[in-house]
Chains A and B, each alone.
Chain A
Amino acid sequence: MKEAVTVENLSVSFSDIRVLRQITCKVEEGEIFGLLGPSGAGKTTLAKVLTGQLVQNGGVAKLFGKDTRKLGTKEREQIGIMMDCFGLYDRLSVYDNLAFYADIYRVPKSRIWGILKSIGLEQAGKTAVQKLSKGMKSRLSLARALMRDAKILFLDEPTCGLDPVTAREIHAVLEEQRRKGTTVFLTTHNMYEAHKLCDHVALLHEGVIVEYGNPAKICGKYNRLQKLLVTLKDGKTVVLENGSSAALPMKEYLEAERVETVHSTEPTLEDVFVELTGKELGADA
């Protein structure tokens, strides 16, 4: 599979503050990649370098093989961006905002209502943006990114501030994009979202990638206990080795219909992040 994003030894500094230090990672075409980290870890900075909004101090950043410092009109047409600051026209309606970008992107306006429906904003089509909640603005910003048939989507915290039902709808939209072969570069501090959606994640802490890989494999790697936690119907919890020795006692519990739940001691991405950095993902860096 071809690489959509290639980052090698990338460093970014603002004055004497080093925001990104020797970052190396890659994103393959058609995958959903999650960049996880607390606020201030450098997620948005990396996304800005990759979209050509910021120039790095050192290292290499490539988008579909092209140096991000030299992105031209053709390459930019392949990028859909949802930024942390929405960049919407407050006085215009939801529809008019998208109609304007349909003009800019040279796509038919007929697709606007379909996109609004897919992200749950159909009812607000004629509402002025200044009357929308933060979550709705976030969705509109995502809709704008989806307007053009981009090869890669850069989404900055796409479900931040959204209710669980809407967040699930957004996840469905992203999975649909993956099915269509679109690469998605997601920055988030929601580990559940990352685990559910992403093919690969990078855990970013103070400008350094502390772990990189498939979410399930990362969690498996840090599952040091390798145990099964069996909660019985009488409230007791039994700890079993995660191996053949657990087969017999498990069989007995199951035959006696005493099992309430079975869990492994596999950590979540949040647990892994805490183990590696001593800080939580939701915290400031």
Chain B
Amino acid sequence: MHNLIAVFKKQCKDTFKNKTVFIQFILFPALTLLMNQTVKIEGMPKNFFVNLFATMYIGMAPLTCMAAVVAEEKENNTLRVLLLSNVKPHEFLGGVGSYIWLLCMLGAAVICAAGNYGLRTGLVFMAVTAVGILASLLIGAAIGTFSRTQMMATSIALPVMMFFSFLPMLSMFNETVAGIARFTYSEQIGKMLGQVPSLRLGMDSAGIVAVNMLVFAVLFAAAYQKCGLE
């Protein structure tokens, strides 16, 4: 736990000096506030932008940040030094992951505030978001572990991130896409966010998200087994 906290604290200092990563945390919350206030179209579902951007935020920010941070540490050999200093792989991943998770949750809180939810619905919104961010962190960790360099991580993370982030939006316009998207966690998280006001979340959605997370965990384990963290 001590090392995990040390990595967490280091990550706090580092991210605020890393503008390319930091901007990902604030882009979508800022965009949500802006669009929610400025675009009012008749017949548009309530909280349309909140749900749309929250889903995209969940699919993008944690995934790319986690992949980038892990791959950068591998590329710069800082991770090797850490492991030689008795920092266990789970402590490192836990430190980085918890930091990104917390920062994303702050962003999600801003999006939640834009949605004007009540206390209970707001808490459910945050809980659904928390699970989605965790799923994205898992796939980000798998990509970062598999990649030798930050460049490699970015080139893998970009299409994966676009797939998961844009699929829920595209599925609104195309039934074939919707048929594929229903098996992805991002689509189901988006669906659950839409169900938040009624406080009735579909168990089938939760099941698909759980299966997605299991698959990502297996992918991470495979990447770790094959490439390790050094």
Contact = CB atoms under 8 A, between A and B. Distances in A.
Q: Do A and B bind each other?
A: yes
A264 B76 CA distance: 48
Given A53-B80, A103-B2, 18 more contacts: A81-B84, A83-B77, A83-B80, A83-B81, A85-B80, A87-B76, A87-B77, A87-B81, A88-B76, A88-B78, A89-B78, A92-B13, A92-B14, A96-B13, A100-B6, A103-B9, A104-B86, A106-B2
Nearest to B9: A103
A89 B10 contact: yes
A86 interface: yes
A272 to B, nearest CB: 33
Nearest to B15: A91
Nearest to B2: A106
Nearest to A51: B84
17 contacts: A76-B84, A79-B84, A81-B81, A83-B77, A85-B80, A86-B77, A87-B77, A87-B80, A88-B76, A89-B76, A90-B76, A91-B14, A91-B17, A92-B13, A100-B10, A103-B2, A104-B86
Interface in B50-101: 76-78, 80-82, 84-87
Task: Bin the interface of chain A by size.
Answer: 20 to 34
Nearest to B230: A53
A77 interface: yes
Contact of B78 (A77, A79, A87): A87
B18 A91 contact: yes
B195 interface: no
Interface of B: 2-3, 5-6, 9-10, 13-14, 17-18, 76-78, 80-82, 84-87, 230
A103 B86 contact: no
A244 interface: no
A92 B15 CA distance: 10
A264 B48 CA distance: 89
Interface string A53-84: 10000000000000000000100110101010
Given A104-B85, A105-B85, A92 B10 contact: yes
Contact of B6 (A73, A77, A104): A104
User: Shortest 9 CB-CB distances between A and B: which pairs?
Assistant: A87-B81, A103-B6, A87-B77, A91-B17, A85-B77, A100-B10, A87-B78, A76-B86, A104-B85
A104 B1 CA distance: 11
A21 B9 CA distance: 44
A105 B82 CA distance: 10
Interface in A99-119: 100-101, 103-106
Contacts of A53: 80, 84, 230
A104 B3 contact: yes
A79 to B, nearest CB: 8
A160 B78 CA distance: 20
A92 B17 contact: yes
A96 B76 CA distance: 17
A96 B9 CA distance: 11
B180 to A, nearest CB: 40
Contacts of B9: 100, 103
B20 to A, nearest CB: 11
B10 to A, nearest CB: 5
B14 A101 contact: no
A163 to B, nearest CB: 25
A87 B13 CA distance: 17
A76 B84 CA distance: 7
A73 B9 CA distance: 22
A111 B6 CA distance: 18
A83 B82 CA distance: 12
Nearest to B17: A91
Contacts of B76: 87-90
Contacts of A91: 14, 17-18
A66 B85 CA distance: 18
A135 B10 CA distance: 24
Contacts of B14: 89, 91-92
